Amino acid sequence: MLNITYTERIVTYYENKVSKKYYIKTFGCQMNVYDSQRIAGILQSLGYQEASSQPNADIVIFNTCHIREKAAEKVFSDLGRALLIKNERKEQGKDTIIGVCGCVVQAEDEQIAKRAPFVDFATGPLTYHRLPEILAKIARKKGISVIDTEFPPESKFDFLPQNQSESACSYLAIQEGCNNFCTYCVVPYTRGVEYSRPIAEILQEAERLIDTGSLELNLLGQNVNSYHGEDEQGKERNLAYLLHRLSELDGLKRLRYTTSYPADMTDDLIACHKDIPQLMPYLHLPIQSGSNSVLKAMNRRHTKDDYLQIIDKLYQANPNIGMSSDFIVGFPGETDRDFQDTLDVVNKVKYIQAFSFKYSKRPGTPAAVMPHQIEEKVKKERLEILQNLLFDYQDKFNRACIGKVMPVLFENKGRHSGQLIGRTPYMQNLHAELPKENLNKIINIKITDATTNSLSGKAV
């Protein structure tokens, strides 16, 4: 294994310019989707083009997720399959580089070296900007593998090639890392401490994305509403300020931000939901559990009542806002009573969408060694009850949309010809029969039909 000294410069551009192909498979959160787009940008700047499928690729990258055990294990089975493809290609005289990026690398670099020694390189979520040097190293010394999991002193954002919008909805990372240390969560260990990008850098990236076709920007951060980047005068600014600055950009029609932490929902941020017309009436605000004792054991800095008060303020700012959340069931020590408190929150907030998970023990986190771990059977039962309730509210909300007219941003072609798929302001998927000229446009649609997971409608 070699460590990156970071003194080498890019030498592979001309070598790779001739029809080398890349294939990236992304696991996990929206931040990983954003990172994969930036990794693709680096590879394109080195002359690579996107491959139509994995067997056609000269370089295969898995951008991995470590948040729950299942996601992390999936990587190793995919790596096994990648080795088979690499061997088949070798018989045809073609080399394949296999790389792993993302949070599994940060947490399990030794496991990767042990369980998948054929991996050519592994680089963490904060170091993938060093990919050109890594590839140069591999090109020069065939047969070596490079693992780079340092928390680097530099910001990767200063080294990435300029990105362009790939569709009318773009992700824009404004903040990374987390200082909250919820006791179940690996993020503070894999993505490191909080870092906020400066305002000017974000505005520049936003303008570039808008100039190349973005109508909607979704600002990303593990703890996005604790954003505290410097403005042009070096003054620290919060997310509310940044949203106002972004809302002044010509051509930007829609703004979103995710994922937020309840204790960081400041009054000026809540007021943005009243004052900024581009801010969509949808907010993902994870509570995780409705029980105060579980929240305390999770090291969350809010109670159930604090959370419900924030929701009240949000509804006052914008009565049409739709809420979403993450939930964990079966956290160590969670009793039936605690679980009932979670159901109670769901019945009060009436989420229009939500994500719910069984607690998954993550090595190295405090909750993994807490007493009173919950049996798998109980976790499964609680998850089913919670999901049925959540789906019920989602279904009710979707059906209540029938007859309404909503502006829909069409991002993709549908499965049938003549059909487009878009998103409503509430993040619902919507299908409509529309000519493809309407792709990447916002069209007013009358909702004609609804299921739990999607809507359909007609242009008005």
Which of 8, 326, 381, 449 binds ligand 5AD (CB under 6 A)? It is 326
Query: Tokens standing for 324?
Result: 């979403």
Binds 64: which of ligand SF4, ligand 5AD, none (CB < 5-8 Å by kind): none
Binds 163: which of ligand SF4, ligand 5AD, none (CB < 5-8 Å by kind): none
178 binds ligand SF4 (CB under 6 A): yes
Compose the 284-303 pattern: x for residues touching ligand 5AD by CB under 6 A, - for all others. --x-x---------------
* For ligand SF4, the closer CB: 31 or 85: 31
* For ligand 5AD, the closer CB: 332 or 425: 332
Under DSSP, the state recorded for 181 is: -
Query: Tokens standing for 243?
Result: 């949203």
Question: Would you say 136 and 11 are in contact if contact means Cβ atoms under 8 Å apart?
Answer: yes
**Number of chain residues interacting with ligand 5AD (CB under 6 A):** 12
One-letter amino acid identity for 259?
A: T
185 binds ligand 5AD (CB under 6 A): yes
CA 149 to centroid of chain Cα atoms? 20
In whole angstroms, the minimum distance from the beta carbon of 162 to ligand SF4 comes to 28
Which of 64, 165, 223, 353 binds ligand SF4 (CB under 6 A)? It is 223
Dump the DSSP string for 299-368.
Answer: T-S--HHHHHHHHHHHHHH-TT-EEEEEEEES-TT--HHHHHHHHHHHHHH--SEEEEEE----TTSGGG
181 binds ligand SF4 (CB under 6 A): yes
**Rounded distance, CA 175 to CA 164, Å?**
19
Give the SS3 label for residue 68.
coil
* For ligand SF4, the closer CB: 60 or 310: 310
In whole angstroms, the minimum distance from the beta carbon of 112 to ligand 5AD comes to 20
Q: Which stretch binds ligand SF4 (CB under 6 A): 105-113, 133-141, 177-185, 371-379?
A: 177-185
Binds 362: which of ligand SF4, ligand 5AD, none (CB < 5-8 Å by kind): ligand 5AD
**Rounded distance, CA 161 to CA 414, Å?**
32
Give the 3-state secondary structure of 391-427: HHHHHHHHHHCCCCEEEEEEEEECCCCCEEEEECCCC
In whole angstroms, the minimum distance from the beta carbon of 259 to ligand SF4 comes to 7
Which of 357, 393, 410, 426 binds ligand 5AD (CB under 6 A)? It is 357
360 binds ligand 5AD (CB under 6 A): yes
* For ligand SF4, the closer CB: 357 or 426: 357
* For ligand SF4, the closer CB: 187 or 210: 187
Residue 455 β-bridge partners: 430, 450
Among residues 40, 32, 30, the alpha carbon closest in space to that of 63 is found at 32
Distances in Å between the Cα of 10 and the Cα atoms of 17, 164, 179 are 13, 22, 34
Residue 432 β-bridge partners: 420, 457
Among residues 361, 83, 409, the alpha carbon closest in space to that of 256 is found at 409
**Rounded distance, CA 435 to CA 230, Å?**
44
Residue environment code for 375-402, b if the CB has 16+ CB neighbours within 10 A, otherwise e? eeeebeebbeebbebbeebbeebbeebe
* For ligand 5AD, the closer CB: 237 or 362: 362
Residue 230 β-bridge partners: 236
* Footprint on residues 60-99 left by ligand 5AD (CB under 6 A): 67-68
Binds 360: which of ligand 5AD, ligand SF4, none (CB < 5-8 Å by kind): ligand 5AD
Q: Which stretch binds ligand 5AD (CB under 6 A): 82-90, 309-317, 334-342, 356-364?
A: 356-364
**Rounded distance, CA 199 to CA 382, Å?**
43
185 binds ligand SF4 (CB under 6 A): yes
Q: Which stretch binds ligand SF4 (CB under 6 A): 9-17, 179-187, 333-341, 401-409?
A: 179-187
* For ligand SF4, the closer CB: 351 or 410: 351
Which of 26, 63, 180, 214 binds ligand SF4 (CB under 6 A)? It is 180
**Rounded distance, CA 452 to CA 460, Å?**
23
| Pairing, β 21-26 against β 49-50 | parallel
Compose the 224-263 pattern: x for residues touching ligand SF4 by CB under 6 A, - for all others. -------------------------------------x--
In whole angstroms, the minimum distance from the beta carbon of 42 to ligand SF4 comes to 25
**Rounded distance, CA 432 to CA 419, Å?**
6
In whole angstroms, the minimum distance from the beta carbon of 423 to ligand SF4 comes to 24
Which of 23, 121, 184, 339 binds ligand 5AD (CB under 6 A)? It is 184
Residues forming the site for ligand 5AD (CB under 6 A): 67-68, 184-185, 286, 288, 326, 328, 357, 359-360, 362
Residues forming the site for ligand SF4 (CB under 6 A): 178, 180-182, 185, 187-188, 222-223, 261
